[in-house]
C-alpha cells in the first residue's frame, strides 16, 4: 500500500483522437505509474514517491476494439469491408468482448493507482457505472445495472426492452487501471449493426440523443460526467 495517498487527479480532454494515439498515450501513463510503484518497493517508506492519477476524456473516429477475452466472430462485417464504412479495428489488452467507438461518444480512460483510493476491482467497476448512472439522471434518463453484465442499461428490469447506453472494459496491473468506459451521447448507432456488442446478441444499444429525441451538447455532458466521477471516487481535480 502507498505510504502517502494521492487523490489528486490530472484531467485531460484529448478531443477527437485516433484510437492508436490515445492507446499509446494512456499506455505511457500506465507504464510510468507501474515503474514508480516498482521503484517504491525497494525504498524506505519515507523515501517512496507518490503515484499520479489521470482522467482522460476523448472521442474516436469510427473504430471497433476487441478485448482479450472476446470472440472475433462478433465482428459481423468482413474485415476487408471496414474501409468502406470508414472504420478501423484493433485487438486490445482490456477485458471484455467487442465494442464500437465513434464521434458523439464520450470515452473515458482513468489511469488511476487504486492504492490511492481503495483496492477493489469490483468496486472500481461499480463506481464507474454509478458515475454514469448519476450523469444520466441529471438529464432525466433513468438507468441502472443488469446482474451479471457490466455497463449501464435502460429498462434494465425488462428483458425485452433492456438496452445498453454505456459499455465498460478495463485493464489493471498492480492496482493501476487503464481503458475504461464509453457513453453513447450523439453516437451513430448504425455502426453497432456490424458487431455483436460486447458479445450480447439479445440486447439493443441506445444513446442519449435517441432517448431524449434531440442532439445533446457534448461539453455539458462532459462537465457533469467529470463532476460525478470526481465525486464517487473522491478525486481531487484541479
Whether 166 is catalytic: no
Residues 61, 19 contacting (CB under 8 angstroms): yes
In order of their start, the domains of the chain are 9-233 (3.30.930.10)
Tell me the pTM.
0.95
Helix 121-138 to helix 218-233 angle, to the nearest 10 degrees? 140
Bridge-partner residues for 30, per DSSP? none
Give the 3-state secondary structure of 145-187.
CCCCCCCEEECCCCCCCCEEEEEEEEEEECCEEEEEEEEECCC
State percent of the chain over pLDDT 90. Answer: 84
Report the range of poorest mean pLDDT among 78-87, 114-123, 199-208. Answer: 199-208
**Does the pLDDT value for residue 1 go beyond 80?**
no
Q: Considering 198, 221, 225, 235, which one is annotated as catalytic?
A: 198
pLDDT for 202 equals 66
**Does the pLDDT value for residue 2 go beyond 70?**
no
- The mean pLDDT of 173-183, rounded to a whole number, is 97
Nearest to 110 by CA among 194, 212, 33: 33
Helices (H), the chain: 19-40, 121-138, 208-212, 218-233
- The mean pLDDT of 87-103, rounded to a whole number, is 93
Cell of 105: 461518444
**Does the pLDDT value for residue 3 go beyond 60?**
no
- What is the C-alpha separation between 12 and 197, in angstroms, rounded? 28
pLDDT for 201 equals 67
What are 25-77's pLDDT values in tens digits?
A: 999 999 999 999 999 888 888 888 999 999 999 999 999 999 988 899 999 99
Strands 88-91 and 98-101: unpaired
How is the chain split among helix, strand and coil, in percent rounded to 5? 35, 25, 35
pLDDT for 145 equals 97
Residues 91, 173 contacting (CB under 8 angstroms): no
Share the mean pLDDT of the chain: 94
What are 133-175's pLDDT values in tens digits?
A: 999 999 999 999 999 999 999 999 998 899 999 999 999 999 9
**Does the pLDDT value for residue 200 go beyond 80?**
no
Query: Residue 196's pLDDT band (boundaries 50, 70, 90)?
Result: confident
Report the range of poorest mean pLDDT among 61-70, 82-91, 192-201. Answer: 192-201
Q: Which residue has better confidence, 47 or 21?
A: 21
- What is the C-alpha separation between 202 and 231, in angstroms, rounded? 34
Residues 48, 3 contacting (CB under 8 angstroms): yes
Report the length, in residues, of the chain.
238
Amino acid at each position: 500500500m502507498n505510504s502517502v495517498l494521492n487523490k489528486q487527479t490530472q484531467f485531460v480532454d484529448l478531443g477527437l483522437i485516433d484510437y492508436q494515439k490515445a492507446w499509446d498515450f494512456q499506455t505511457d501513463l500506465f507504464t510510468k505509474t507501474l515503474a514508480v510503484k516498482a521503484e517504491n518497493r525497494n525504498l524506505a517508506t519515507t523515501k517512496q514517491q507518490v503515484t499520479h492519477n489521470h482522467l482522460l476524456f476523448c472521442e474516436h473516429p469510427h473504430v471497433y476494439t476487441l478485448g482479450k477475452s472476446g470472440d472475433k466472430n462478433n465482428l459481423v462485417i468482413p474485415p476487408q469491408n471496414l474501409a468502406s464504412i470508414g472504420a478501423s479495428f484493433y485487438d486490445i489488452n482490456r477485458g471484455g468482448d467487442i465494442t464500437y467507438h465513434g464521434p458523439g461518444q464520450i470515452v473515458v480512460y482513468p489511469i488511476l493507482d487504486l492504492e490511492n483510493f481503495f483496492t477493489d476491482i469490483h468496486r472500481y467497476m461499480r463506481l464507474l457505472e454509478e458515475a454514469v448512472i448519476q450523469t444520466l439522471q441529471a438529464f432525466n434518463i433513468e438507468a441502472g445495472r443488469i446482474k451479471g453484465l457490466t455497463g449501464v442499461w435502460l429498462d434494465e428490469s425488462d428483458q425485452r426492452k433492456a438496452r445498453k447506453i454505456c459499455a465498460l472494459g478495463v485493464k489493471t496491473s498492480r492496482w493501476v487501471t487503464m481503458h475504461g468506459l464509453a457513453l453513447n451521447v450523439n453516437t451513430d448507432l448504425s455502426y453497432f449493426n456490424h458487431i455483436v456488442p460486447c458479445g450480447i446478441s439479445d440486447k439493443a444499444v441506445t444513446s442519449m440523443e435517441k432517448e431524449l429525441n434531440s442532439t445533446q451538447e457534448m461539453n455539458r455532458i462532459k462537465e457533469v460526467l467529470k463532476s460525478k466521477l470526481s465525486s464517487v471516487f473522491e478525486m481531487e481535480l484541479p
